[in-house]
Amino acid sequence: MYRTHTCGELRIENVNQTVTLAGWIQRLRKMGGMTFVDLRDRYGITQLAFNQEVNSELFEQANKMGREWVIQITGNVAERYSKNQNIPTGDIEIIVSDLQVLNTSATPPFTIEDESDGGDDLRMQYRYLDLRRSVVRKNLELRHKMAIAIRSYMDKEGFLEVETPVLIKSTPEGARDFVVPSRMNPGEFYALPQSPQQFKQLLMVSGFDRYFQIVKCFRDEDLRADRQPEFTQVDCEMSFVHQEDILQMFEGLIKYLFREIRGIDFKEPFLRMTWADAMKYYGSDKPDMRFGMTFKELKPFTEGHGFSVFDSAEYVGAICAPGCAAYTRKQLDELTEFVKRPQIGAKGLVYVKCEAGGTFKSSVDKFYSQEDLKQWADFCEAKEGDLLLILCGQTMATRKSLNELRLEMGRRLGFCDKNKFAPLWVIDFPMFEWDEETQRFYAMHHPFTSPKKEDIQYLESDPGRVCADAYDMVINGVELGGGSIRIHDSVLQHRIFKALGFTDEKAEYQFGFLMNAFKFGAPPHGGLAFGFDRMVSMFAGLDSIRDCIAFPKNNSGRDTMSGAPSLIDDSQLDELCLKINLPTKE
């Protein structure tokens, strides 16, 4: 080893010991006849002292060094004159007697400090330098720790981690696959898994009983801010279980993680809410439960007063923003602008200020009397000083807009504390989603999801009302994971395929090997998958998953550090029997 100790471990007890340290120069301060160096490694920072009077040659050598040089020193541990209470090694320093420069460094393009002066793009291009910043490294240390904790819980519960293949068969249903040309089978392709769904179900058919895997998955989608083409899932499946068993098992996992990682003890069971209620009261299948402001449906109270906007609307919904009655014209205009943004989609915003003395001021008081408004306020449980914000229109669309408004108000009102966690199970998802464009039903979860027993009777007559044994775990408005009970009965599976408009041939082509496996004694089974990047990001209090990934890609799927993707040799293409066929520019 190039060192006897790390830069994080020496204390006052070590005074007078001779030690050897190695690390990077964080800072170098020249103070008259003394030069002080902050030596950094993963474990901490230790101050080195070079004294001109004691060893002028060493002192000169030290003064020639620069930031981020890698050095090895030997010296004596001494008590510091002025102690630094901010770091664990702050009581001591090393009086250096020997110095080896292990490597010099060019000047880094940004400062290696917790608050760096480097912009996002620059930090990504030099990610290996960005990773030197302890704030970034801590996220990856947390990620390591969480993976250890997850594996520990799962192992204790009898789950086996089984590696499923990365080079698999392409299944056109769902999101777009990344594909991998096969040289040995020219013209044919592997796909990279979007999830190990079919393999984990096969493992259940194999009697593995309890499977999990922390596994890379891939999705060739146009990337949004918080999506990566490769991401990591905690993928789980169990046999001989009902929905309740799965909820219990994985509520246990999340509680264990909060206890182990964040020291938070959730004693009560997590809240549960049906998908229908989530949509009705929050306009979202992943409501942020850190705060209230649930939706109130005002339609019955608004009709027949000559306000055609409300009268013609299918839905009129309000949220009550506590203490916001004093909002200025400007603030209300801002909110109106906010809801009218195309991604929110509302036509306008109606407000009711519940003012002191029980009076009301509203943008629609031309149409509604004080008594009318009082009725609304009472129904919304608004108190003096509160502000009702009302949207109207087509039901589902308006709920979605109102959800955005609710979240915006939550942020403005400081309700989105990153250190508060409000977990929720959303259950009873609809089985199918109707797609207007293609005029067919799609599986909301996936085609192997089991409908609720009591709804099976409606599969053919009224598919839209069939709910599934499907569930999502939502924390603070983030869908952390989700899953379902699977169909293990091949007759039922065929009815589902039919409802989804699959011909027998198409079902056979896409899922043939799984359907075939199910002929040989498939047990009842179900499972779920957590997004590990999101999970770490939430536990770390980050805004983006990118900062808990060592080498993330940008929004065009590019690694600006290595330059991937890149051109490959023609000889490689020839071996793969491929030709590039770029569209000609017009």
CB of 504 vs a copy of itself, minimal distance in Å: 17
Closest Cα to residue 528, out of 273, 243, 164, 285? 243
Which is closer to a copy of itself, CB of 188 or CB of 277?
188
* Token digits of residue 102: 């292990």
Which is closer to a copy of itself, CB of 230 or CB of 355?
230
| Cα gap 144→8, rounded to integer Å | 20
Which is closer to a copy of itself, CB of 79 or CB of 504?
504
Q: CB within 8 A of 388, min separation 6: which ones? A: 318, 319, 320, 321, 351, 352, 354, 362, 376, 377, 380, 382
| Cα gap 257→251, rounded to integer Å | 10
Please name every residue paired with 277 in a beta bridge, in sequence order, or none if there are none: none
* Token digits of residue 472: 């999502």
Per-residue DSSP letter, 559: B
CB of 149 vs a copy of itself, minimal distance in Å: 11
CB of 130 vs a copy of itself, minimal distance in Å: 8
Which is closer to a copy of itself, CB of 3 or CB of 80?
3
Cα maximum dimension of the chain: 94
Query: Residues for the chain: how many in total?
Result: 586
CB of 106 vs a copy of itself, minimal distance in Å: 5
Let me know: does 36 contact 69? Beta carbons within 8 Å. Answer: no
Q: State how beta strands 230-239 and 271-274 pair.
A: unpaired
| Cα gap 195→562, rounded to integer Å | 26
Q: How many CB atoms lie within 10 A of CB 18?
A: 13
CB of 175 vs a copy of itself, minimal distance in Å: 12
Which is closer to a copy of itself, CB of 312 or CB of 566?
566
Q: State how beta strands 44-51 and 92-103 pair.
A: parallel
Contacts for 461-468: CB closer than 8 Å, 24+ residues apart: 463/431, 463/432, 463/499, 464/430, 464/432, 464/434, 465/430, 466/430, 466/431, 466/432, 467/275, 467/428, 467/429, 467/430, 467/431, 468/428, 468/429, 468/430, 468/431, 468/444
Which is closer to a copy of itself, CB of 147 or CB of 444?
147
* Token digits of residue 443: 């599986």
Which is closer to a copy of itself, CB of 62 or CB of 339?
62
Which is closer to a copy of itself, CB of 377 or CB of 549?
549
Which is closer to a copy of itself, CB of 112 or CB of 480?
112
Which is closer to a copy of itself, CB of 40 or CB of 286?
40
CB of 24 vs a copy of itself, minimal distance in Å: 6
The three state secondary structure string of 460-492 is CCCHHHCEECEEEEEECCEEEEEEEEECCCHHH
CB of 177 vs a copy of itself, minimal distance in Å: 8
CB of 163 vs a copy of itself, minimal distance in Å: 6
